[in-house]
A and B are shown apart, each in its own frame.
Chain A
Amino acid sequence: MTTSTFRTCPDTGFKVYSSAENLIKANAVAGVVFLAVGGLFGLLVALTRWQAVHLLPADMFYLALTAHGADILIFWIIFFEIAILYFASAILLNCRLATPRVAWLGFALMLIGSVMANVAVLQGESSVMFTSYVPMQADHKFYLGLILFAVGALVAVGVFFGTLVIAKKEKTYEGSVPLVTFGAITAAIIAVYTILSGAVILVPTWLWSLGLIGEIDTLTYRVVWWGFGHSSQQINMAAMVASWYAIAAITVGAKPISEKVSRMAFLLYILFLLLASAHHLLTDPGLSSEWKVVNTSYALFLAVLGSLIHGMSVPGAIEVAQRKNGFTQGVFGWLRKAPWGNPAFAGMFLSIVLFGFLGGITGVIMGTEQLNLIMHNTLYVPGHFHGTVAAGTTLAFMALAYIVVPLLFRRELIFKRLAQWQPYLFGLGITGLSIFMMAAGTLGVSRRHWDMAFSDASLTFDYPPAAFLIMAMNGISGIIASIGGIAFIIVIVGTILFGKKRDEEAVKSNPIVYQGGSTAVSSHGSAESLHIPGTAILVSVFFGAFVLYYFINWKYLSEIWPLS
């Protein structure tokens, strides 16, 4: 079993075992395929909600929306996360992968499950949305596909933990695990309880779809399903933050300002995120205000605290590194002179900013008990999570791909110009999608809705004309984001298939890992060496925006009809 061979990566010096390498490649490629498929469905959705275009008929719209949610929120993200887990364990710890055969079994289960769920959706009998709320019923293949996928992912998480055990036992590293691995461990622990919550609700739902169980309580379904549905987004968040640290290290030689603070912030995620999923149930009957406030405040805000800490420590680490690299001019010289032409760096930095401003702030506001009344199930909700999952996680993963694909496939990126523009194009498109959906949501426009003109309804209602204009802008943003997405697929798939072999010459002339500086960077442990005025200003601007927008929403709330 342990005959796995390894090579030494000429760029990084890490030992790369072929078993780990092949599994990372397989999972990453599967993820990218689902990104392409899911992204296409997303474009169709955006073009349908643009009322003047109204591309798809109603049944196809709901089908496409279900496929978009499942393919992006589950399949693309989790496949790529498994690749990150294997990378953060086997590669970063210079270790062989535990039980590669079992890992391949996990991959096979995930692949079968994801294809089965897609087939069920495409057959048209499972247009139940990603959330599949009972008693609306999908074809039993849909639930079985999700269950198989989840089991496969759980197997992969087990292989990850097994690899950590081997690395520890065989002493392939000294001291504590690297911060990125620590972040991956966070993601993996969250994944375990996420997948178990999923099993608790999806297995009975599957049996119900086969007629073996009579009835499932709708409130119980929502409570348990969100333990799965929301927590799965926290796997994304932990993996995304780990990616930020990794990309900052590789592109500018950044080191964490404080290992202790960054690790503590990851720990807050593990401890408090599951309970925060209660914020999906803020307007449901049968749950008390006390339950809602408690589960969305101490839990949510301590998890948010974790993100706020990363929000300073990642840019802070970049600022320190850039200053050491010689860019000391003024307050923002380090940022102006950052490698904005490197798609990995650009994607990572855009991901941090967009995640914070678009996804983070709005998520906290939506998760506030009373404020949820003016947002629940409006387009504000997808507006928020396009800020987190698309602008945050997806952009960060794309940025990481620009590093990992050339390293593992040992090929030079093709179409470098296109690659340079890609993060900006995708970031711009997603920013538009996020902002315009939130704007429409503020005007009350419903999510998951085929016809905002209500032309077939027996009554009439008109949204304000501005809402139609906003949805047109949303459609245009969807097109821009799609062009960015297609550019990513072209560059990555093109590199894998046709990229120039990355020989020794290329490693020397075109290094992927930041050269120089990194050895000169001394330990940042002492207080006097920390000089990050630029980051302090950025964080202050962010915090000011957060406070302002938070209280603006209370103002909006105070204007609706009194309720009690």
Chain B
Amino acid sequence: MSLTPPENRLWWKEPLHGIEITWITIAFLWGLLMFGVMVYWHMTGEQNLSNEAYRINPDVYAEKVEAAAEKYTVRVDEQSGMPVVRPPAGTDVYMLARLWEWWPILELEKGKEYRLHLSSLDWMHGFSLQPTNINLQIHPNYEMVLTIKPTETGEFGIICNEFCGIGHHEMLGKMIIVE
């Protein structure tokens, strides 16, 4: 039994059972298929995380976000006092994470592509866009750039889902998608 040395001292020479070979083969092929699906999705799927990222100093990133906000602010959100920024469709849009807010509020058009820049000014944060359910890890000193194409209109919450201290649960941002 499993608690004592194998009875057959030449256990590695025992032939395999048919059912074992079958299961090992199926399981191995399934692994290969799962590998193939990932690669296939990179070629044909529409939801792939970009590989574009840059090292950046948090102060430099903050300046970029503020410059963009200054240029394209259309109004101030009454509830939070945060600027609502609406850059032209197809351009670069910037958002930053810091203790404990996502800044600014972005207003984007449905069906248009945007290059979204994300980085943190202090600790790690989690970008969780809801209810569409897109979740990204946001680091300080790394600027992530990804192309997004909103497919529905409405107000979307950006929850921080990486623990970032005592104000973590107050860290809530917004993205507004309009026609």
Contact = CB atoms under 8 A, between A and B. Distances in A.
Note whether A and B form a binding pair: yes
Interface of A: 12, 58-59, 62, 92, 127-129, 133, 135-136, 173-180, 217-219, 222, 245-246, 248-250, 253-261, 281-286, 288-289, 293, 297-298, 301-302, 304-305, 308-309, 312-313, 316-317, 364, 368-370, 372-378, 442-444, 446-451, 454, 456-461, 463-464, 518, 521, 523, 525-527, 530, 532, 536, 539, 543, 546-547, 550, 554, 556-558, 560-564
A525 B172 CA distance: 61
Contacts of A554: 37, 41
Interface in B44-59: 45-51, 53, 55
16 contacts: A175-B9, A178-B1, A180-B3, A281-B137, A283-B49, A304-B31, A364-B34, A373-B49, A378-B161, A443-B133, A446-B126, A459-B79, A523-B8, A532-B19, A543-B26, A562-B151
Given A245-B2, A283-B49, A285-B139, 6 more contacts: A176-B9, A285-B53, A305-B24, A377-B128, A527-B17, A558-B45
A328 to B, nearest CB: 18
Interface string B133-148: 1111111111110111
B6 A297 contact: no
Interface residues of B, number: 91
A460 B105 CA distance: 13
Interface string B1-42: 111111111011011111110011011101110110111011
Contacts of A369: 38, 49
B48 A309 contact: no
B72 interface: no
B80 to A, nearest CB: 4
Contacts of B77: 459
A116 to B, nearest CB: 22
Contact of B168 (A288, A449, A525, A561): A449
B161 to A, nearest CB: 4
Contacts of A92: 3-4
Given A62-B163, A129-B163, A283-B49, A308 B23 contact: yes
B56 to A, nearest CB: 10
B87 interface: no
B106 interface: no
Interface of B: 1-9, 11-12, 14-20, 23-24, 26-28, 30-32, 34-35, 37-39, 41-42, 45-51, 53, 55, 77, 79-82, 101, 118, 122-124, 126, 128, 130-144, 146-151, 157, 159-166, 168-174
A286 B139 contact: yes
Contacts of B128: 377-378, 444, 446
A563 B134 contact: yes
Given A283-B136, A378-B128, A563-B134, A297 B5 contact: no
Contacts of B24: 261, 305, 309
A330 to B, nearest CB: 18
Contacts of B32: 301
Contacts of B122: 135
A448 B137 contact: no
A253 B130 contact: no
B161 A459 contact: no
Contacts of B53: 285-286
A248 B3 CA distance: 10
A254 to B, nearest CB: 7
Nearest to A513: B3
A228 to B, nearest CB: 17
B172 A175 contact: no
Contact of A461 (B47, B143, B172): B172
B27 A179 contact: no
Given A370-B47, A560-B134, A460 B34 contact: no
Nearest to B144: A285
B139 A219 contact: yes
Contacts of B146: 563-564
Given A218-B139, A463-B130, A539 B2 contact: no
A293 B130 CA distance: 26
A222 B141 CA distance: 14
